[in-house]
């Protein structure tokens, strides 16, 4: 049985409030993470870019915000590729594959943009940049007994941020406490998956909600080149090295860091909406003043949405807002630890 087919036939769509899987909102931990009662799994479409050749590290060191020299078979490094003006083109997590390639995992909508941007600078280096998304299948696994479940597949399961392990089945990345991503070959006849016990299959929205509640908002095609890294809180989430050498956009990013001049940042909100706002949707005041843009959103139940939005750090009035095409929306802010 092909792994993707196995998953899609077992997904259970959770209903109003996801009451079985989460504690009430007011009992959530201060770090905004979702507290699960069950261990869940969800298929996620991801994009993968492989960079191969003798000058890959040298090339990426001059292009991305993270210290790519720290990447190895046992670790994942998070970073961003930016424009000369310092705006984020795409975010990624990078690791070194068993054949020595550097693999960048990113939002699937960003693959064409990301490759085009990298190739703009790679022509002077001995390397190859290619889309390998069709080769892999990715899953999000989270919950209180997630390590016990994963030990069925892996002898060693990483327990710290940036941790990674790999075997003949695929590779496993530690995301947050109790959250992992698992990636394997798209065509793998994965009989071992059927031996996993104690998992609840959920839909993509629920996985998006957990990711959103970590405070991280991935750049998509709709939000590419709209924000500098600090607006997305990437500085507090380990995406930027301020000790490495120069890279594209570094001057703007470093100046913003040392001068502390960020006027807009990601903030988390909850509100009632008729439809889920897309990334890039405008948030305006009742007087039609633009306040910010949605960067990620997920349903909490059939009427309420939680979202991340880049908005002014001084904004305090969240009554009668317009979000996308919906008006007179009252929004409650949820604190995020930075």
Please, how many CA atoms are within 13 Å of residue 137, restricted to the half-sphere of its CB? 18
Coil, strand or helix at 216: coil
**pLDDT attached to residue 118:** 97
Between 126-130, 156-160, 257-261, the lowest mean confidence (pLDDT) is in: 257-261
**pLDDT attached to residue 188:** 63
What mean pLDDT value characterizes the chain? 86
Is it the case that residue 226 has pLDDT exceeding 80?
Answer: yes
Strand ranges for 157-259 from DSSP E: 164-166, 170-176, 179-185, 199-201
**pLDDT attached to residue 195:** 56
Is it the case that residue 13 has pLDDT exceeding 80?
Answer: no
Tens-digit pLDDT profile for residues 147-173: 998 998 899 999 998 899 998 888 999
Tens-digit pLDDT profile for residues 270-286: 999 999 999 999 999 98
Averaged pLDDT for residues 20-49: 62
**pLDDT attached to residue 12:** 34
Query: What is the number of other CB atoms lying within 10 angstroms of the CB of residue 98?
Result: 10
Domains of the chain: 1-209 (3.30.1360.120), 229-334 (2.40.30.160)
**pLDDT attached to residue 35:** 58
Most confident option among 8-17, 161-170, 192-201 = 161-170
The C-alpha atoms of residue 86 and residue 90 are separated, in whole angstroms, by: 12
Averaged pLDDT for residues 222-250: 95
Q: Are strands 46-52 and 102-107 parallel, antiparallel or unpaired?
A: antiparallel
Is it the case that residue 266 has pLDDT exceeding 70?
Answer: yes
């Amino acid at each position: 049985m092909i792994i993707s087919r196995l998953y899609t036939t077992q997904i259970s769509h959770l209903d109003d409030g996801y009451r079985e899987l989460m504690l009430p909102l007011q009992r959530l931990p201060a770090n905004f993470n979702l507290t699960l009662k069950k261990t869940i799994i969800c298929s996620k479409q991801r994009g993968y870019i492989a960079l191969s050749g003798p000058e890959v590290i040298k090339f990426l060191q001059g292009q991305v915000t993270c210290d790519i020299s720290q990447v190895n078979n046992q670790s994942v490094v998070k970073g961003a590729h930016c424009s000369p003006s310092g705006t984020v083109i795409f975010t990624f997590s990078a690791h070194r594959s068993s054949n020595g390639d550097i693999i960048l995992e990113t939002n699937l909508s960003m693959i064409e943009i990301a490759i085009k941007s990298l190739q703009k600078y790679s022509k002077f280096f001995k390397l190859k940049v290619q889309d390998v998304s069709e080769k892999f299948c990715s899953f999000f696994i989270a919950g209180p007994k997630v390590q016990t479940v994963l030990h069925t597949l892996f002898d060693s399961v990483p327990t710290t941020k940036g941790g990674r392990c790999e075997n003949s089945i695929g590779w496993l990345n530690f995301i947050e406490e109790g959250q992992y991503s698992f990636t394997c070959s798209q065509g793998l006849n994965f009989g071992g998956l059927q031996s996993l016990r104690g998992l609840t299959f959920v839909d993509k929205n629920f996985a998006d909600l957990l990711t959103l509640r970590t405070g991280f908002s991935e750049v998509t095609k709709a939000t590419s080149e709209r924000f500098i890294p600090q607006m997305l809180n990437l500085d507090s989430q380990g995406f930027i090295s301020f000790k490495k050498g120069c890279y594209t956009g570094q001057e703007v990013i470093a100046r913003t860091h040392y001068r502390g001049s960020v006027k807009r940042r990601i903030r988390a909100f909850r509100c009632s909406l008729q439809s889920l706002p897309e990334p890039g949707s405008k948030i305006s005041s009742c007087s039609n003043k633009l306040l910010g843009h949605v960067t990620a959103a997920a349903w909490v139940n059939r009427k309420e949405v939680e979202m991340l939005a880049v908005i002014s750090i001084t904004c305090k009035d969240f009554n009668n807002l317009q979000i996308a095409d919906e008006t007179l929306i009252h929004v409650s802010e949820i604190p995020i630890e930075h």
